[in-house]
Chains A and B, each alone.
Chain A
Amino acid sequence: MKVEIYNHMIRNGLSRRGILKGAASVGALATLGGVATGLSAGRALAQDNLRAEILKVPGVGQGSPGDSDWQKVGEMCLGPTKEVVAEGEFAGVELTFMGLNNQNLHNFLFRGFLKPWEAYTGAKINWIDLAQADYNARLQQSIATGTVDFDIIEMGAPFEGDVLGKGLASEMPDWVKTQIDMDDYVGYLKAPVGTWDGKTYRISIDGDCHTFCYRKDYYENAEFAEAWAAAGNTTEWAPPKTWAEVQAQSKFLAGKTDPLTGLEAHGFLDPLKGWGGFGFYFLEDRATAYAKHPNDPAWLFDPDTMKPRVNNPAFVQAIQDVMDLIATPGAYPADQINADPGTTAFSQFLAGSGGMLAWWGDVGSSARTSDTSVVGDVVGFSTLPGSEKVWNAASGAWDETPNEAPNMAYIGWGVYVMARVDGDEKRHKAAWSAAAHLGGKDIALWMSAYPSGFQPYRNSQFQYDEWEAAGYDRAFIEDYLGSNADSYNHVNAAIEPRIPGIFQYYSVAEDELAKGFAGQYAGAQETADAIAAAWEKITDQIGRDSQIALYKASLGM
């Protein structure tokens, strides 16, 4: 769970009674466990017991967990490791783990979790802690200079092209797949994500996707509803289901007054400024419903030629929609041309500017948890809007069928073992065992319930009863997790290409979009063509043939 969400729960959401109620339910479950007979039922209950027990460390409402708590959870979750590793089996093995130190979590958390693992197995782990901003450069330089000096790495899926595509990672052994129960992963994290050429490499520890946040009070406002009908709109004044509705509502809201703040009302908040490549995800949000055909896993590039699809009618439609809103006076707040995604989410939407926003799962809940948020009671969530039509790249024409394609932006963090352990059987098993310990099913529940920096990524993490039993407010949790779960398991989820240098493509697209949005190109098509031309150059520089091969491999083609 993100730190701010946890802090909010602690500050506002939990009463002592609530916690006691939760503890009582857990106790009742434990009692039932004692009554039940039969081996399998007993094991299942022991498992439930463990899950309930780890959620008590340190206990919801008992302050933020620290190293001793992480070690305790690590110790309690050692069961699956003990089934495959004998005590002291890895004595003398030293491994290096490279990861992040964001918010004093990530690697710090892993250290605590792995300490009991080290004590049990006899292995020793050395740590390389990196700030987020240094991560990409460090990884790229290690790869480019052939100085991979780590055995295990915490890495985002977009980098898989750079690492897996170059054969730098170790293939996951079958016993690990069993230990971490991969079938429990949410839909989009199952193969081909985490796999390369049909081989599995990734242990997921996090999930990521963009969801849609909207202001409920806008739609409960009678004046808006009347004005909407009076303007000749035949559709209901309700949260939009398609991007066309988002457009119509955004234009309609220009010049209106916000019912909550009394300032200017606005519709959808597009970030018009780059964000180190991450800003392109937000144009993708508008485009995926038009561009991701259910019968085609590819949507950003043609997998046979690496020809960009970013200038096809689907993306041009998305860019045109943004340009239309730029041309509509009052549709955006002033200075929107200088607003990056951080601004749209935290300075605008949470501060009461704007009615709709696409962001990662946590911003919606930050609406209720952030001290600076004024929209906590009026925010609603859904999956990203859909479209009335979808571009069919195979036929080169629009299919006039409704479509939805939630954008799995960034896919999430995972743990990978590097190929350099492959030569030594003992190191290989030790590295995979450590990684599997971090990616375990029960530890995952704890990570989603307490501050860890990670979002849920397993279906078992969406069992709201467990959360309620632990003392959480069910309504909040369902609200917080529901839109994520629906996006993760969507059959037509849009998953970005895991090819080398994907952020280079995003970064240059941001530069060209900025020019387009500033009116330096003739229109949406010309802007899209400029992006496509820049992407072709990057593909040629990295190597077209290898990119095609790697893209196909990442798609499992």
Chain B
Amino acid sequence: MTQDGDLLHVVTADNISVARRRAGQALIWGSAGIMALVALSQVLQTTGTRDFGFETWRPTLYAYAFWSACLCAGQVITRGEQGKRVLFVLPAALFVLSMVVFPLIFGLGIAFSSWNLSSPDGRQFNGLDNIRQMWADPFYWNALRNMVWYVLAILPEYAVAFGLALLLNAQIRARKFFRVAFLMPLMLSPVAVSWMVGKSMMEVRFGPLARLARALGWDNPSFFGSPEIARATIMLMDAWTFIPFMMIMILAGLQAIPKELQEAARVDGASAWRSFWEVTFPLMLPVSITAILIRVIFKLKLADIIINVTSGGPGGATDSVTSFIFREYRDRSNVGYGTLLAMVYLVIIVIAMTVLMKLADRWMRPRY
């Protein structure tokens, strides 16, 4: 056994011969060469330059799987124990590469193509045309504008959720019952919410909410008649579903706050408001920011309620980016443009979330 090197972490130090190392290298590079050859053949086949009898891209997939196996084996052959350690991560990394990175690259390829499934010409690379189309597409910008409103609605949702969490954290009767009852909307599928609430309870003639509105003096209740009311109704339905989610996170945070802090504040003579604002709220900031960030992510995906209840109407007032992409992609088979819209949205989301998290990080630093 060797006396050099990292003796603390190495169990067995391999004496790897040059020949073994070379064999390992040959395995890795040989299989990589085979993969490159198969992929090249496939490209030539696809472009129609040569015919290798490849009907699908499966040969390349098999070559990739073969190379992956050889790469893993090669690590052990060339590096011994160090290679075995790599095996804990390498297969997962290769899997992620194949399931996330490659599709993303293909997705980008599609996003810069004109690909209408009904077109006899199939997919055609069209450069930046889709971006130009997006730039001039009033439907997309309208949907993005709506998303700003939808996301802003999270602030009042947060306030309500905080209030409910405080209530449930207090010593009230039937606390456990209310905790479960308040969670119920979250357990419902948004599609069920759309039909039960949006289509049935808000039905203008017979729906119980319409009847209630009439009883309260609204002669001709209309929940989706004007753009503003329709948008507000969608926001309310979405809020009703997801406020419990924020509430339960905040409640968990509240329960983690040591009671002594509140008691100390009370002993110091702080009013209820001051003990909330100066003690509870700052302590809850990390949980609150997390809850809001997750809620923003949920909100950016808002589509199901809109698709089912308003189809984006009236006149696009309730359209979300996802519901618009759904129509563009599913109803109009416009795969290229739909993919580009989704990609741009992804970039916008990544940037916005990064900025938001940076800001959140700054806000959450203790204010001493």
Best-surrounded residue of A137, A507, A519 (most CB of chain B within 10 A): A507
Chain B positions within 8 Å of A541 at CB level: 114, 116, 119, 334
Bitwise interface map of A from 515 to 557 toward B, beta carbon under 8 Å scored 1, else 0 = 1011110000000000000000010011100100000000000
The smallest beta-carbon distance between A541 and chain B, in angstroms, is 5
CB distance from B209 to the nearest CB of A (A): 12
Q: Give CA–CA (A353, B210) in the complex, Å.
A: 16
Tell me, yes or no, whether A219 is within 8 Å of chain B by CB: no
Of B7-15, B17-25, B308-316, B351-359, the one contacting chain A is B308-316
CB–CB A504/B333 < 8 A: yes
B53 within 8 A of A: no
CB distance from A14 to the nearest CB of B (A): 31
B135 to chain A, nearest CB (A): 15
Cβ of B264 under 8 Å from chain A: no
Within 8 A of A (CB), among B212-235: 220-225, 227, 230
Does residue A456 face the partner (Cβ distance < 8 Å to B)?
no
CB-defined contacts of A507 to chain B, threshold 8 Å: 327, 331-332
Within 8 A of B (CB), among A133-162: 136-137, 140-141, 143-144, 161-162
Q: How large is the interface on A (under 10, 10 to 19, 20 to 34, 35 or more residues)?
A: 35 or more
Cβ-closest chain A residue relative to B318: A338
| Residue among B116, B221, B310 facing the most chain A CB atoms (10 A cut-off) | B116
> For the complex, is A340 an interface residue (Cβ under 8 Å from B)?
yes
Contact indicator B117/A143 (Cβ below 8 Å): yes
Residues in B whose Cβ lies below 8 Å from that of A501: 116-119, 332-333
A481 and B28 alpha carbons, distance in the complex (Å):
73
Total contacting residues, chain B, CB less than 8 A: 38
Q: Is B5's CB within 8 Å of the partner chain A?
A: no
Check B327–A351 contact: CB distance below 8 A.
Answer: no
Within 8 A of A (CB), among B98-121: 114-121
Cβ of A259 under 8 Å from chain B: no
B residues less than 8 Å from A503 (CB atoms): 331-332
| Interface contact A511-B334, CB-CB below 8 Å | no
Q: How far is the CB of A502 from chain B (nearest CB, A)?
A: 9
Given A501-B333, A518-B313, is A338 in contact with B203 using a C-beta cutoff of 8 Å? no
Task: Give chain A residues whose Cβ lies under 8 Å from the Cβ of B269.
Answer: none
* Chain B 298-355 residues near chain A, CB threshold 8 A: 309-317, 327, 330-335
Q: A517 vs B313: C-alpha distance in the bound complex, in angstroms?
A: 10
Whether, in the assembled complex, A500 has its beta carbon less than 8 Å from a beta carbon of chain B, the answer is: yes
Kindly state whether residue B205 has any CB partner on chain A within 8 Å: yes
Contact with A along B75-109 (1 / 0, CB 8 A): 00000000000000000000000000000000000
A402 interfacial by beta-carbon distance below 8 Å: no
> Cβ of B225: which chain A residues have Cβ within 8 Å of it?
334-335, 337-338
Pick the contact of B223: A136, A335, A511 (CB < 8 A): A335
**A347 cross-chain contacts in B, Cβ below 8 A:** 203
A518-B227 contact, Cβ under 8 Å, with A141-B117, A143-B117, A162-B118: yes
Query: Does A515 lie within 8 Å of B311, measured CB to CB?
Result: no
Q: Given contacts A503-B331, A504-B333, are A274 and B116 in contact (CB under 8 A)?
A: no
Q: Considering the complex, which residues of chain A in the window 249-302 have a beta carbon less than 8 Å from any beta carbon of chain B?
A: 263, 272-277
Docked complex: B196-215 residues within 8 A CB-CB of A = 203-206
Let me know if A335 and B227 touch, CB within 8 A. no
Tell me, yes or no, whether A514 is within 8 Å of chain B by CB.
Answer: yes
Indicate whether A353 sits within 8 Å of B205 (C-beta atoms), given known contacts A334-B221, A340-B311: yes
Q: C-beta contact mask, B120-162 vs A, less than 8 Å → 1, else 0?
A: 1110000000000000000100000000000000000000000
* Assembly CA distance A383 to B199 (angstroms): 31
Once A335-B223, A351-B206, A507-B327 are accepted as A-B contacts, the answer to whether A514 and B315 lie under 8 Å apart by CB is yes
Q: A residues within 8 A CB of B312?
A: 274, 511, 514
Which residues of chain B are near A353, meaning CB under 8 Å? 205
Known: A335-B222, A337-B314. A542 touches B116 (CB 8 A): yes
Whether A482 sits at the interface, judged by CB under 8 Å, is no
Give chain B nearest CB distance to A316 CB in angstroms: 19
B311 vs chain A, min Cβ distance (A): 5
Across the interface, do B120 and A546 meet the contact criterion of CB distance under 8 Å? Answer: yes
Contact A515 B116 (CB under 8 A): no
A473-524 contacts to B (CB < 8 Å): 500-501, 503-504, 507-508, 510-511, 514-515, 517-520
B310 lies within 8 A of A273 (CB): yes
Q: Of B117, B122, B139, which contacts A511 at CB under 8 A?
A: B139
CB pair B331–A335 under 8 Å, yes or no, is: no
A33 close to B (CB within 8 Å): no
- In the complex the two chains form, what is the Cα distance from A99 to B330 in whole Å? 19
A511 to B156, CA, bound (A): 31
Contact between chains at A543 and B120 (CB < 8 Å): yes
A259 CA to B333 CA, complexed, in Å? 46
For A334, A340, A541, A543, the residue with the greatest tally of chain B CB atoms inside 10 Å of its CB is A541
Known contacts A334-B221, A337-B224; is A517 also within 8 Å of B315 by CB? yes
A59 within 8 A of B: no
Instruction: Name the distance in Å between A134's Cβ and chain B's nearest Cβ.
Output: 10
Please determine whether A504 and B230 come into contact, CB atoms closer than 8 angstroms.
Answer: no
Closest 7 pairs (CB-CB, A-B):
A518-B315, A501-B118, A338-B224, A507-B331, A500-B118, A140-B117, A504-B332
17 CB contacts below 8 A, A to B, read A136-B333, A140-B118, A144-B117, A161-B118, A166-B120, A272-B314, A274-B311, A274-B312, A334-B222, A335-B223, A337-B224, A340-B311, A501-B119, A517-B314, A518-B313, A542-B120, A546-B120
List residues of A whose CB falls within 8 A of some B CB. Answer: 136-137, 140-141, 143-144, 161-162, 165-166, 263, 272-277, 333-335, 337-338, 340, 347, 351, 353, 500-501, 503-504, 507-508, 510-511, 514-515, 517-520, 538, 541-543, 546
Known: A335-B224, A514-B312. 17 other contacts (CB 8 A): A165-B120, A333-B205, A334-B221, A337-B314, A338-B230, A338-B314, A500-B120, A501-B119, A501-B333, A504-B332, A507-B327, A511-B139, A514-B311, A514-B313, A541-B116, A543-B119, A543-B121
